[in-house]
C-alpha cells in the first residue's frame, strides 16, 4: 500500500519523568542487502595486558530483507588498528548464509595489541549492494597495560602514564 500511518502516543505524568522525545524517525523502502556490525565481542575488557597475538571478534547481523548467500556475494570485514598499536586485518566470508536478523561472529586471529597505550579498533564491513552504509562501521578504544614481570616494580611516571589509567566513577587518581 502507498498509505502509511505512523502514530506516536505519550501519556503525561505529574513530574519531569513523564517526558517523551522522538528523534531520527524515517520511513524508507526495505533494502535487500544490509550487513550491520553490532558489537565488539572479544576482547570482553577494553583494558588489559594485551599481547602480540590477540583474538578479536566482532558480531555481524543481516538487516536486509533477503538472506545473504556469501558464496554469491562475498563480504569483507576489515579491522584497522590505530594509536599505540597499528595494523590492518581482513576476514572474508565466502561460504554460508545469513538470514534477516540473524547474527554471526567474525574472528580475527593474531592481532597485535602489545604496545602499551591506547589503540582504536575500527571494523568495517563491505558487500555488494549494501543498502545502508550507516551501520557498516563500529569502533572501540582499547588500552594495553604493561606486563609486570620483574619485582620490585617501580614506575616514576617521568616518561608518561606508564600504561596506568584511572577508571570508575569514584576514581581520584590523575596523572
Residues contacting residue 136 through CB under 8 Å, at least 6 positions apart: 35, 36, 37, 124, 125, 126, 130
- Scored b (16 or more CB within 10 A) or e, 166-175 reads eeeeeeeeee
Distances (CA, A) of 103 to 37, 74, 157: 9, 16, 44
Mean pLDDT check: name the lowest of 18-27, 67-76, 121-130: 18-27
Distance from C-alpha of 90 to C-alpha of 81, rounded to nearest angstrom: 12
Q: What is the pLDDT of residues 131-171, one digit of tens each?
A: 899 999 999 999 998 888 889 988 888 887 777 777 777 87
Q: Which DSSP helix (H) or strand (E) runs through 60?
A: strand 54-62
Report the C-alpha gap between 122 and 6 in whole angstroms.
36
Q: Are 42 and 55 in contact (CB under 8 A)?
A: yes
Q: What is the pLDDT of residue 175?
A: 67
User: 28 versus 138: which is more confidently predicted?
Assistant: 138
- Overall pTM > 0.85: no
Q: Any idea which residue has 565488539 for its cell? A: 40
- Res 38: pLDDT: 95
Q: Which of 12-26, 97-111, 125-139, 141-155 has the lowest mean pLDDT?
A: 12-26
Amino acid at each position: 500500500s502507498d498509505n502509511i500511518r505512523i502514530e506516536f502516543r505519550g501519556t503525561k505524568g505529574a513530574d519531569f519523568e513523564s517526558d517523551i522525545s522522538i528523534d531520527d524517525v524515517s520511513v524508507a523502502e526495505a533494502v535487500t542487502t544490509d550487513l550491520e556490525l553490532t558489537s565488539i565481542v572479544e576482547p570482553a575488557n577494553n583494558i588489559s595486558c594485551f599481547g602480540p597475538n590477540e583474538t578479536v571478534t566482532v558480531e555481524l547481523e543481516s538487516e536486509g530483507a533477503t538472506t545473504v548467500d556469501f558464496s554469491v556475494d562475498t563480504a569483507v570485514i576489515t579491522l584497522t588498528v590505530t594509536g599505540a598499536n597499528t595494523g590492518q586485518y581482513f576476514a572474508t566470508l565466502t561460504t554460508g548464509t545469513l538470514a534477516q536478523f540473524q547474527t554471526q561472529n567474525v574472528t580475527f586471529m593474531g592481532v597485535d595489541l602489545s604496545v602499551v597505550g591506547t589503540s582504536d579498533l575500527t571494523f568495517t564491513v563491505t558487500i555488494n549492494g549494501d543498502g545502508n552504509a550507516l551501520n557498516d562501521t563500529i569502533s572501540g578504544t582499547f588500552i594495553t597495560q604493561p606486563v609486570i614481570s620483574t619485582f620490585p616494580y617501580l614506575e616514576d611516571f617521568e616518561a608518561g602514564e606508564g600504561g596506568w589509567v584511572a577508571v570508575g566513577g569514584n576514581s581520584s587518581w590523575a596523572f
